[in-house]
Amino acid sequence: MSFINKLKDFFSTHQETREKHYNPDLKSHYYKTTYKNALQSVNSLIEQTPGMTVTSISEERGEMSVTIDKPRKGFLIVTVISVRPYETAVDFTATTNTFLPTDFGFSKKIILQLYKKLDEKETLVGTGKSGR
């Protein structure tokens, strides 16, 4: 990861995961599970996390919106996509509500914590397109 990308990450209040992310930790994660099971796993994981509340779930679109109240206020969008019958991708988009130009890595930390918990719950197939 280049110095400019690290600087952008530091002076940001927003992080998201995607297929071809420059940071390998923020690449999409693929799990060996069905779409419905992945959505239920993420939902139960968020409900068990203190300070997070699921505000809406759209099963047709595979999206879930979450408000974060503790330790900082923020917003999280979870996207679950079925790639193959038993292969499902999970992506996160986190935004921190702050008056400062930076959240000091809080949005990235939230995503990494959720991926870690989800990796323990479901069977990880790989990350990003090259991980499959």
Can you spell out the DSSP letters for 51-112? TEEEEEEETTTTEEEEEE-SSS-EEEEEEEEEEETTEEEEEEEEEE--SSS--TTHHHHHHH
Task: Compute CA 21 distance to the chain's CA centroid, rounded to the nearest angstrom.
Answer: 13
For 23-45, what is each residue's pLDDT tens digit? Answer: 888 999 999 999 999 999 999 99
Q: Which residues pair with 95 in a beta bridge?
A: 14, 75
Give the predicted TM-score (pTM) of the model. 0.89
77-121 pLDDT tens trace? 999 999 988 899 999 999 999 888 888 888 999 999 999 999 999
